[in-house]
Amino acid sequence: MKPATSLSHRGVLDVEEFLIPAGLIEFGHNYLRQVGQRGFEGLVLWAGRPREDNAKIFDVVEVFAPKQNGFRGAKGVGLTVDGNELFRMNAELYRRRLLLAGQVHSHPTEAYHSSTDDHYATVTIPGGLSLVVPDFASRPFEVASTAVYRLAEEGEWVEVSRQAARSLIRVGDDGNDSAPSVGRM
């Protein structure tokens, strides 16, 4: 397996399918729901790697919730992940040769990418995903009701159409032998 640092400047732009086991989706969505029940946005991250035999497929093998601080105020809700946690998380991902290629967070109502989401994203790899789940994840996860964005090579978040998102993100058991994991990294 090649280390994460051997990727070209294109990141995961050539990936056409992100495969994620249903159990990982369930873990992440449950976490977002639990945080949302307390009135806060939540964040989970997807880590994995492109397949060696087909780099157009990215296997998500871990979903985790970094330590985060939610806040509520007159202007709305949000969350932060401090620099020490980001450093710790990135060092662990590097050690395990995993790429951070997806972030999923919840909004209290509509699913959309706010200007804060655009400017303070945790995922920074070109081609990476940012998903926004509506209504504090109070309903079961569906790609069709989730706003999906992809980071362009120029650094802008571009919305992915609902139809394209259903092809880009595949949930379920794909027969991959790698053992997925969940939790706090």
What's the pLDDT at 177?
46
Per-residue pLDDT of the chain (185 residues; tens, 9 = 90+): 344 444 455 689 999 999 999 999 999 999 999 999 999 999 999 999 999 999 999 999 999 999 999 999 988 899 999 999 999 999 999 999 999 999 999 999 999 999 999 999 999 999 999 999 999 999 999 999 999 999 999 999 999 999 999 999 999 874 444 445 565 55
113-127 burial code (b ≥16 CB/10 A, e <16): beeebeeebbbebbb
The model's pTM: 0.89
Beta carbons within 10 angstroms of residue 68's beta carbon: 18
Token readout for 165 is 């998102």
CA dihedral (53, 57, 63, 64) positive or negative: positive
What's the pLDDT at 185?
53
- Cβ atoms 128, 105 nearer than 8 A: no
What's the pLDDT at 172?
85
Specify the amino acid at residue 106. Answer: S
Specify the amino acid at residue 156. Answer: E
From CA 126, how far away is CA 150, in angstroms rounded? Answer: 8
What's the pLDDT at 11?
82
What's the pLDDT at 122?
96
